[in-house]
Structure 1
């Protein structure tokens, strides 16, 4: 065949040329989509890296240049990293019930929580931080400032890595337990077991059991009350008008006490009488304002369970905001307390004393927690709020109320508790109670079948009982993962901190 006889591209049929062009355009589209997906995955880490860079620059600006500047800048960056991990992990417990119950959208919940976390940290955050966390270590045994600096740096970085790993695995853990475990491990590596207060460690271990059990039992009791007194009444709307204002008033009283004990304790530490009096007054005032509002909202509602949900949505929104405010005020010290302790130690403040938090250090903690929530929090919010057990406004209300009320009761009794474990334990409690209720409560089963109470037969068929017994309303895989993470938090943080301190001490 001569060259003149070879078909040119222009001589190809129009259909073939279009087919080739479509394939090429499709390949380009797929490449662009892959590029966009890869880029989206790098946006959040990029913003987090920028924040850590700014944290280091802020520390350098306030400290200046000198022999101590490098250590302080490193501490500020690690403290910022710890704040990011706290926001990604711990804050999910405050807003997850409201998101799972569809009372708040994910975007709305993140915005409310970020604002309230920052406000709580900046307005009511820890003015004073003990240089050795939670009284676990006798400060007199760490008289060398250099040893103390390496101890705190190792503890801070190790706890941040543990919380980061737990977030990656989808396990909400107590950041307080992580920092305490890290201090324990670093102290063991630095000065041995003699100065460790093992009694304090025992109370921390006890909180692993006490916190989730208390939270779960309180949430289950309130859910049982709502079911018996409102949901399974013949006239649900009349029952709601009678009891919903009372329940909201109880929530208001609990949150007033919760804020006084956990959120505003650094500004004003009232005695038990003041806490009780202010809580009761808040409950009475809220009841007086809510009762007519609930009556107006319930007018014209159908006499069915779905009609009750809107009545609980507003309290859930306020609970998410108040829990976030109290969390920001109380837990910001977990991120920046060691930074302030390192800063004052290098300035010559005695290791055994108490130190104040400079405003620039507090800003790193406050904005780091909020940024960590916005960038990395949605995954854990969805898991806690929607994947452990199904939420609705009534169940989410029980979880939020349990989180506040249990902290107040435990503080009054002197019991060691973790707010994270209480909140997640309350979610487990609600789910397991629903399983028990489904199998055991005869009136509930037949109410759903349309029987009247006096028509309920004494026993279900064997098939019905077997179906109900098999129905699991709590995901066992999440339950096992979270409980295992709770158990290993302190040992894992302690081991990593001990290893890190040993390496640093060997290098320097």
Structure 2
């Protein structure tokens, strides 16, 4: 069972990399500032740096402590059900180009396996998980629009490329990826709590490697969605979206809030798209629908895996 848990966590991390690494650099690609290959390489490097710099605060939040009975937190079958459900759902979403939230997937897994195994603390679920997930995209839409207006007023968001803007744009993209690595890695590391020799920095490195591989190999479909199908953008608008995302995700890291980088990055892009009236709702609506669907799908998958697992282990 321990080896199955490790395999499932590696799959989750790979799916996370394929689905989420590109979120920080989507505006570089979408605005024509750089090529897909350069963007995906920069995402892998800066995300890995964030993974290595991650702390244990988010690991404690996603261990399930307070959400489910303490006896479940290190139960191998519970950990496997959460990881496997998140990995399967994440891989499917990545395959079809939907930028979904690993936070949603893991939260769904905790809920599904937790309810099947015993009980779920609804107050903890709302305060520590659902509230931040619901608020973050709304804040991101507002922040994206406000920061774009501010930068436009200061003439720091031109509609064409300049050497200074390109530098700032790359730095902001790296900041988003770094913050995402810090925010997402501990969530997946929480699934390794039952594997003593993979706790701490070793587990973080395993997850970082799997995320980098996923981002380098399997990001193309999500890259097209984020770069070209949410909104049309020029370099200045892309920089504003990245800056808003970096500020919000970094704030979440400092306060140990399990926000979704997906919600924040897509929300910031959408905020600018609404402001410029270039939002492509034909793509945005299915993406929003995918966000709603993934949590219950992951919960159902975790419940089924837990039920089946009790018969074989």
- Which residue of structure 2 lines up, in the alignment, with residue 72 of structure 1? 2
Cα distance, 1:490 vs structure 2: 1.9
- Which residue of structure 1 lines up, in the alignment, with residue 296 of structure 2? 491
Q: 1-side partners of 2:61 and 2:139: how far apart?
A: 30
- Which residue of structure 1 lines up, in the alignment, with residue 49 of structure 2? 119
Secondary structure in 2 matching 1:390: coil
Cα distance, 1:326 vs structure 2: 2.4
Q: 2:236 matched to 1:431?
A: no
- Which residue of structure 2 lines up, in the alignment, with residue 150 of structure 1? 77
Q: 2-side partners of 1:131 and 1:190: how far apart?
A: 19
- Which residue of structure 2 lines up, in the alignment, with residue 85 of structure 1? 15
Q: 1:109 aligns with which of 34, 39, 44?
A: 39
Aligned residue pairs total: 311
Report if the CA contact (8 A) 1:315-1:397 is conserved. yes
Q: 1-side partners of 2:72 and 2:10: how far apart?
A: 25
Report if the CA contact (8 A) 1:158-1:496 is conserved. yes
Deviations 1:407-451 (A, max 9, x none): 45667899774322011001111111112xxxxxxxxxxxxxxxx
Q: Looking at CA atoms only, which structure, 1 or 2, has the larger radius of gyration? A: 1
Q: 1-side partners of 2:77 and 2:257: how far apart?
A: 32
Q: TM-score, normalised by structure 1?
A: 0.57
Q: What 5-or-longer segments of structure 2 have no aligned partner?
A: none
- Which residue of structure 2 lines up, in the alignment, with residue 376 of structure 1? 218
- Which residue of structure 1 lines up, in the alignment, with residue 138 of structure 2? 213
Q: What 5-or-longer segments of structure 1 have no aligned partner?
A: 1-70, 231-239, 248-304, 348-354, 436-472
Report if the CA contact (8 A) 2:112-2:298 is conserved. yes
- Which residue of structure 2 lines up, in the alignment, with residue 201 of structure 1? 125
- Which residue of structure 2 lines up, in the alignment, with residue 190 of structure 1? 117
- Which residue of structure 2 lines up, in the alignment, with residue 342 of structure 1? 194
Q: 2:29 aligns with which of 99, 107, 112?
A: 99
Q: TM-score, normalised by structure 2?
A: 0.89
Q: 2:259 matched to 1:476?
A: no
Deviations 1:206-241 (A, max 9, x none): 3343111111111111222344x36xxxxxxxxx4x
Cα distance, 1:100 vs structure 2: 1.0
- Which residue of structure 1 lines up, in the alignment, with residue 307 of structure 2? 502
Cα distance, 1:157 vs structure 2: 0.4
Deviations 1:284-343 (A, max 9, x none): xxxxxxxxxxxxxxxxxxxxx65565442111111122222222233123333312x121
Q: 1:179 aligns with which of 87, 106, 109?
A: 106
Residue 502 to residue 222, structure 1, CA distance change in 2 (3 Å): same
Cα distance, 1:127 vs structure 2: 4.6
- Which residue of structure 2 lines up, in the alignment, with residue 22 of structure 1? none
Runs of 4+ in structure 1 over 4 Å off:
305-310, 408-416
Report if the CA contact (8 A) 1:103-1:313 is conserved. yes
Q: 1-side partners of 2:79 and 2:255: how far apart?
A: 31
Cα distance, 1:131 vs structure 2: 8.6
Q: 2-side partners of 1:222 and 1:121: how far apart?
A: 27
- Which residue of structure 2 lines up, in the alignment, with residue 357 of structure 1? 200
Q: Which gives a bigger RCO, structure 1 or 2 (Cα 8 Å, sep 6+)?
A: 2
